[in-house]
Amino acid sequence: MRKLYALLAGFIFSLLSIHSANAKTVTPDVANFTFTVNVPNNDIIFTNTSIIGSEPGPRKAFWHFGDGAVQMTPPLQGTQHHYQTAGTYNVCLKIYRYYTNTNDSVLTAQVCKTVVIETNCQAGFQTVSVTSNPLAKYFIAQPNHSQNKKPVRICWNFGDGRDTCIQYPTTYTGPYAVYHLYSHPGNYNVCVNIRYDGGCEAQSCHPVQVGNPDSCRADFERVQVSPNANPLLAYYKALPWHNNNRKPARVCWKFGDGTDTCINYPENYTGPYAVSHLYNHPGFYEVCVKINYYGGCEARKCKEIRIARPDTCKADFERIPVTTTNNPLRVYYKALPWHNNNKKPQRICWQFGDGRDTCVNYSQAYVGSYTVGHTYNHPGLYEVCVKIIYYGGCEARKCKPVRVGRPDSCKADFVKLPIISVNDPLKAVFKALPWHNNNKKPQRICWTFGDGRDTCINYPENYNGQYIVTHRYNHPGIYEVCVNIRYYGGCEAQKCKPVRIGPRPDSCRADFQRIPVATTNNPLRAYFKALPWHNNNKKPQRICWTFGDGRDTCINYLFQSIALAQQ
């Protein structure tokens, strides 16, 4: 009956509405709301901006927050809702009109909007350089969480393909730091990803310069060919230079006659960066080389080149044997010029192989020898080059390896120090024993402990302490321990030894003797004494005797002294 009354009431209400429509316009309900995101605690404040129409009857508003929660409020009242996690939610406001004296209702207006809860955590990091090694960096993560939750995992992308993740307990209070050693200098894009307790995750990336920033130069020389060759055929050789020893990726040539070319080189290329070009006419041409290095550095050099039947020249040098100096690092070189038309050197440039180069200009009237002295800072093998520029423009270059001072020689060894910890017999202390004929110090010592948990330690050149490392093994046994020592100057040596960790394995022997007893009157009665031996001084637990007459026996001992007599 209640349903019937409601239908009749609705029908009568509709008739009245139709009748009254001629006299007055009925305005509908309009649902609307705005919201404000309170980031620190994921609270959303909703403001109800709905408009109630002119149709009679009470209203109620229902809020659907998109996470399963529903709330009922008066039709124009706002509300507040807390979301447990960040995400995107579809929030709907629905307005219902109720019939008088019944519980029946009708949906009169609704609106839905998208609410986005942003992640309320951040990630950052700072970089600390290691003065003893320009390729090493310390990275310190800088977490930031609006609810002060701690990181539980930090992942590092160092930009060189050797990444790592570290798990942290929520009770950790130290710095979130990591050490990384790069193989090559360069500019790397480093990223840190921090996952906080509760699931919030954030990432930050920025470039980090490792080692010296790239700098490069470009140069080239014209390579002289046989005098019988075509005088219009020219050979050019690029002379690349890069402070971080990166190789050319692309060399482009402009020959000055409009016929240019570019050559790509793989990173493992070890040959000369040379090119030949045949000109159509003799003359002066501006030749340019542009070198693009791996890593992005680019340099360019241009020279004016004469194409015709050119002068031919050579460059060479010799080391002068000087016995009057007491400094084995002082070396004298003498240039050996040659020119087919007897033109003299105008400029001689020396590259001594240690980065401290020089050029000397000579007048056309000079008649002396072309010598130069140079003092090296360290012994070693150097590539020395001489470049001679003759009057008239002919240019030649020659390089040779030169040994300065004694060549480096080194060894590596180590000992296990006799330090025994009663409470921790698996703890071992190793001491490296370096040796270098030129007294150069270790730059890096790498230890392989034989259990897969290895380490490397870098030392500054002014370090004067002992090269000691401590390692705790998980299990006793015999491990192959290796030490690898890299010295300043590049000499490297390694030594491996088997090392016993923990107590020695049990080893034992058995023996006995017959005790000569003279007080017995029975010659058939014999006394025997067991003679035990154990490498770890363990005592017998059970001794069994076989007397040879079929009447054998076994005796158990509770660690008392051993003396057995046959009764």
Within 8 A by CB and 6+ apart from 31, the residues are 50, 61, 93, 94, 95, 109, 110, 111
User: Is the pLDDT score of 480 beyond 90?
Assistant: yes
Query: Among 200, 300, 213, which Cα is nearest to 248's?
Result: 300
301 near 220, Cβ under 8 Å? yes
User: Is the pLDDT score of 378 beyond 50?
Assistant: yes
3-state secondary structure of 3: helix
247 near 267, Cβ under 8 Å? yes
Instruction: Count Cβ atoms within 10 A of the Cβ of residue 305 and give its class: 0-12 exposed, 13-18 middle, 19 or more buried.
Output: buried
User: Is the pLDDT score of 495 beyond 80?
Assistant: yes
How many angstroms separate the CA atoms of 494 and 412, rounded? 5
Q: What pLDDT is recorded for position 404?
A: 86
Task: State CA 272 to chain mean position distance.
Answer: 32
Domains and CATH numbers, the chain: 2-117 (2.60.40.10), 121-210 (2.60.40.10), 216-307 (2.60.40.10), 313-404 (2.60.40.10), 410-501 (2.60.40.10), 508-556 (no CATH)
CA distances from 488 to 378, 438, 442 (A): 11, 10, 6
When pLDDT is averaged across residues 15-25 and rounded to a whole number, the result is 52
How many angstroms separate the CA atoms of 514 and 166, rounded? 68
Both tokens of residue 388? 């001679």
3-state secondary structure 405-448: CCCCCEECCEEECCCCCCCCCCEEEEEECCEECCCCCEEEEEEE
Least confidently predicted of 34-48, 402-416, 438-452? 34-48
How many angstroms separate the CA atoms of 417 and 407, rounded? 32
User: Is the pLDDT score of 230 beyond 50?
Assistant: yes
Q: What percent of the chain has pLDDT over 90?
A: 60
Least confidently predicted of 14-28, 190-204, 239-253? 14-28
The model's confidence at residue 564, banded by pLDDT at 50, 70 and 90, is very low
Instruction: Count Cβ atoms within 10 A of the Cβ of residue 441 and give its class: 0-12 exposed, 13-18 middle, 19 or more buried.
Output: middle
φ, ψ of residue 548 in degrees (nearest 5): 90, -5
Least confidently predicted of 10-19, 483-492, 521-530, 541-550? 10-19
3-state secondary structure of 99: coil
Within 8 A by CB and 6+ apart from 271, the residues are none
Pairing of strands 283-293, 298-307: antiparallel
Beta bridge partners of 385: 351, 399
The model's confidence at residue 474, banded by pLDDT at 50, 70 and 90, is very high
